[in-house]
Amino acid sequence: MDTKNLDKSQMLALLNDIEFLTENPVGATVQDKVNYQQALFAHRLDIGKAFNTGDYKDGKPVLNYYRPLDPWTDEGDKQWLGENTAEFAEKRQLVELVKKVSALAHTLPGQLKAVMQHDAVYNMTPEAQLEYCVHQSKGYDAGTLAKCLYTSYFYGPINTFLRKQLPGSVDSKIIDLITYTLGVLEKTIKNDKVVHQIETFRVELKSEWMKNPGKGQVLDFPAFTSTHPSEGGVDTMLKDIAKGTFGEVGEPAVLKFQGRTKVLQPNVKYFPEEVETIIPPGMRAKVAHVDVTTLDIPGKGKTAVKLYTLEIQ
Ligand SMILES: NC(=O)c1ccc[n+]([C@@H]2O[C@H](COP(=O)([O-])OP(=O)(O)OC[C@H]3O[C@@H](n4cnc5c(N)ncnc54)[C@H](O)[C@@H]3O)[C@@H](O)[C@H]2O)c1
């Protein structure tokens, strides 16, 4: 296998194999193990480490098995960092988050599918998206992983949970991952002291929940609010509607947010090319104007929709 130019799904398959090898050291050939180790180095991943048996074959070391390394275990950190330090607490959080992703990914794929979208762009199942974020966030803190999870289609369950719209039947392990991720995100936002002055735009695909507010009315945004940093971003999103990326569209409206707010800034993203300004949960915004604008909606054509200018409170 050429391990140098792997796309996302090949990389994921490879990493799954490595995990398999970790538990089944006897199952693979020496050459397989050498290849995997090279792939790990090529991608600067330290998910597992091969132990050198001390034997050489064809001039290459014979690798015995893979020992899982951080963040899969925190034993080493306990000794290095000291059990009662802030660094260790930070590391524990990462380990917990990784474990919760793993628990979901390996035991509940069907359940996750019911609340989280498949990624049609990279053909990644919901659980593969979460694992991909774990692997991409290696070497970073829990905040980085939590933010990456939000940038996958996991934003769906998170926002639905925050809007109290998740069905009661959802498995407790999914709720557990959502609430833990939210705890990490909350801490990350709290620690980031920068308040931004923004003017951003959002397409509200199903604006029915807003109930046609008038000037002066204050709206609550209990979930994260994804916005485009420029008006042009709105067109990009409209094109994606045609691909079915956002499911059904109800009564669309455009929201223009103005004011000062903290923003969530992912350093590792599931879709690295996506540009967005994410406003944290709990925002309140007052309607300053209600105007009309035109959106060119795929399947509907040019459509007059409401444009709400909202002042962040
Ligand atoms: N909407 C945008 O303009 C925008 C901007 C930048 C990036 N994105 C990206 O596009 C994807 C989809 O974003 P999104 O905005 O559709 O996700 P979302 O979770 O904010 O909204 C999902 C759906 O729920 C509806 N909704 C919002 N608030 C609601 C409420 N309080 N009650 C009931 N329904 C409510 C929305 O109208 C939308 O149809 C994400 O990947 C996001 O990062 C979207």
Burial 302-311 (b: 16+ CB within 10 A, else e): eeebbbbbbe
Q: What is the pTM of this model?
A: 0.79
- Where does ligand 1 bind, in terms of residues with CB under 6 Å? 155, 159, 163, 202-206, 209, 226-228, 237, 246, 276
My answer on whether 173 and 201 are in the same domain is no
Give the tokens for residue 34: 């050498």
My answer on whether 153 and 211 are in the same domain is no
Q: What is the CATH number of the domain that holds 259?
A: 3.90.176.10
My answer on whether 179 and 207 are in the same domain is no
Q: What is the pLDDT of residue 282?
A: 97
Last residue of a domain, one of 191, 216, 244: 191
Query: Residue 280 falls within a domain, yes or no?
Result: yes
Round to whole Å and give the CA distance between 247 and 72: 36
From the CA of 240, give the closest atom in ligand 1.
10
Name the domain count of the chain: 3
Q: What is the pLDDT of residue 71?
A: 42
Q: What is the pLDDT of residue 176?
A: 94
Dump pLDDT digits (tens) for 234-263: 888 887 777 767 777 789 999 999 999 999
Q: Is the pLDDT of residue 50 over 80?
A: no
Query: Residue 109 falls within a domain, yes or no?
Result: yes
Dump pLDDT digits (tens) for 93-139: 887 888 788 777 666 667 898 999 998 888 888 988 998 898 788 77
Q: What is the pLDDT of residue 44?
A: 40
Dump pLDDT digits (tens) for 128-150: 899 889 878 877 888 999 999 99
Mutate to test the pocket of ligand 1, among 206, 207, 236, 293 (most ligand atoms within 8 A of CB): 206
Query: Residue 3 falls within a domain, yes or no?
Result: no
Query: Residue 81 falls within a domain, yes or no?
Result: no
For 15, counting Cβ atoms within 10 Å of its Cβ (0-12 exposed, 13-18 middle, 19+ buried), the class is buried
Nearest CA-CA partner of 279 in 215, 168, 198 = 198
Dump pLDDT digits (tens) for 201-246: 999 989 999 999 999 999 999 999 999 999 888 888 887 777 767 7
Please tell me the number of Cα atoms within 13 Å of 287 on its side-chain side: 18
Dump pLDDT digits (tens) for 160-169: 999 999 988 8
My answer on whether 233 and 251 are in the same domain is yes
Average pLDDT over every residue of 271-277:
91
Last residue of a domain, one of 191, 214, 230: 191
Round to whole Å and give the CA distance between 161 and 176: 11
Query: Residue 47 falls within a domain, yes or no?
Result: yes
189: Cβ–Cβ under 8 A, 6 or more apart, which residues? 262, 264, 280
Q: What is the pLDDT of residue 127?
A: 85
Q: Is the dihedral of CA 28, 30, 34, 37 positive or negative?
A: positive
Cis bond leading into 71, ω under 30°? yes
Query: Residue 241 falls within a domain, yes or no?
Result: yes
Q: The domain containing residue 234 runs over which residues?
A: 196-312
Round to whole Å and give the CA distance between 233 and 215: 25
My answer on whether 186 and 205 are in the same domain is no
My answer on whether 148 and 235 are in the same domain is no
From the CA of 250, give the closest atom in ligand 1.
39
Query: Residue 75 falls within a domain, yes or no?
Result: no
Task: Return the residue whose CA atom lies nearest to atom 9 of ligand 1.
Answer: 226
Q: What is the pLDDT of residue 94?
A: 80
Question: If you measure from the C-alpha of residue 168 to the centroid of ligand 1, how many angstroms do you get, rounded to a whole number?
Answer: 21
Question: If you measure from the C-alpha of residue 195 to the centroid of ligand 1, how many angstroms do you get, rounded to a whole number?
Answer: 23
How many Cβ atoms sit within 10 Å of the Cβ of residue 282?
13
Query: Residue 76 falls within a domain, yes or no?
Result: no
Q: What is the pLDDT of residue 34?
A: 53
Dump pLDDT digits (tens) for 53-89: 555 556 554 444 333 334 445 565 565 566 777 777 7
Range in 30-34, 46-50, 201-205 with the lowest mean pLDDT: 46-50
Round to whole Å and give the CA distance between 22 and 48: 7
